[in-house]
Amino acid sequence: MRQEISLLGAKEIREIATSLDLVPSKGLGQNFVHDANTCEKLVRLAELKDSDRVVEIGPGLGSLTLALLRAGAAVTAVEIDKRLASRLPQTLREHGATDESFEVITKDAMQLRSEEIAEGSLLVANLPYNVSVPVILHILSMARISRAVVMVQSEVATRLAAQPGSKEYGVPSAKVAWFADAAIADRVSAKVFWPVPRVDSSLLTLRVHPPLSSEADRELTFKVIDTAFNQRRKMLRSSLESLISQYLPNQSSEEVLESSGIKPTERAESIQIEGFLAIAKTLQKR
Ligand code: SAM
């Protein structure tokens, strides 16, 4: 249900921070958005419907949380910083949110369990920069999210949305493709944050599709990806040689790659996620 909710302005954000004696932590990626238009842009991109449930990682002082609640979503906000998490309900209530419309979980998003996320939820978040990729992969791996809109460092957004054949294509691009199609929706100026970070940000949309295969296949596929990109300039026949010999000691890496439909002379950066999965499947045919 849409609620009569007011958003946070720059002055109020400073006031709340002062009342908490908060010195924004670099380690926790604490750059707070003090521009309501940016929060509304994230909400528009999420195409929220009234009945939607949203998981927000790192609500901070509540700027985006209020914009999500105003759009009618029910929000589960996961915040690692105890001071911010315990202050958040007060801020949300003072701005017109009802207690039934939000839940605050005080924990590291990497420790979030699937039963804490409602089936079909959206992930909408201004993510802490230093953990944005592992957090995205962790949340997607729980198979509860239907789509996502996240704000991340522009360089990370470029890597997540990169396609095979480009120099930005790497481990995050290949792994996220297991779960979703990632696309950059917009750039965001560093000026919308307090404190102003040294890097630009981008908005990334993730259209979630069914996982490509079983969890066991995913684990081995991710191992193949990590190994192949560990020596990304080498041809796969040599970058994957030792991994292949662990699984199939009696076959050459050329044979294994060819029977997976992959040219042994290719490099990791030209392989689609389906190709890495094909290699993982061949490795299991002991
Ligand atoms: N959403 C707020 C906004 O847009 O103003 C704050 C975003 S700030 C970039 C990132 C937030 O994530 C901070 O509040 C920080 O304390 C929190 N955070 C950092 N690491 C976290 C983790 N591992 N799990 C949950 N929250 C985390």
Q: What is the pLDDT of residue 277?
A: 98
Q: Residue 124: which of 190, 68, 189, 208 has the closest Cα? A: 68
- Token pair belonging to 221: 């596929």
Binding site membership of 35 for ligand 1 (Cβ less than 6 Å): no
Residues 244-284: pLDDT tens digits? 999 999 999 999 999 999 999 999 999 999 999 999 999 99
Find out whether the beta carbon of 62 lies less than 6 Å from any atom of ligand 1: no
Question: What secondary structure letter does DSSP report for 258?
Answer: H
Question: Does the C-beta of 151 come closer than 6 Å to ligand 1?
Answer: no
d(CA 171, CA 178): 11
Q: How far is the CA of 88 from the centre of ligand 1 (A)?
A: 12
Domain range annotation of the chain: 10-208, 215-283
Q: What CA–CA distance (Å, rounded) separates 268 from 85? A: 41
CA dist 284 and 246 (Å) reads 11
DSSP string, 76-103: EEEES-HHHHHHHHHHHHHTT--GGGEE
**Ligand 1 in contact with 78 (CB < 6 A)?**
yes
Q: How far is CA 167 from CA 31, 172, 269, 273, in A?
A: 29, 13, 7, 16
Residues of the chain with pLDDT below 70 are 1-3, 286
Q: What is the pLDDT of residues 220-253, one digit of tens each?
A: 999 999 999 999 999 999 999 999 999 999 999 9
* Contact assessment for residue 253 and residue 240, using Cβ atoms and an 8 Å cutoff: yes
CA of 128 to the centre of ligand 1 (A): 5
Distance CA 242, CA 174 (A): 21
Residue among 36, 43, 47 at smallest CA distance from 125: 43
In one letter, which amino acid is 39? Answer: C
108 CB under 6 A from ligand 1? yes
Question: Which residue has the CA at smallest separation from atom 3 of ligand 1?
Answer: 32
List phi, psi (to 5°) of 22: -85, 120
Confidence (pLDDT) at 1:
64
38: Cβ below 6 Å to ligand 1?
Answer: no
* Dist CA 266 CA 279 (whole Å): 13
Ligand 1 atom showing the smallest separation from residue 13 Cα: 5
Which CATH superfamily hosts domain 10-208?
Vaccinia Virus protein VP39 (3.40.50.150)
| 3-class state of residue 145 by DSSP | strand
Same CATH fold, 215-283 and 10-208?
Answer: no
CA of 127 to the centre of ligand 1 (A): 6
Element holding 226 (H helix, E strand)? helix 215-230
Query: Ligand 1 centre and the CA of 60: distance in Å?
Result: 5
- In the numeric block, the tokens 């930005």 are attached to 168
Query: Which numbered atom of ligand 1 lies nearest the CA of 32?
Result: 5
- CATH top class, domain 215-283: mainly alpha
Q: What is the pTM of this model?
A: 0.96
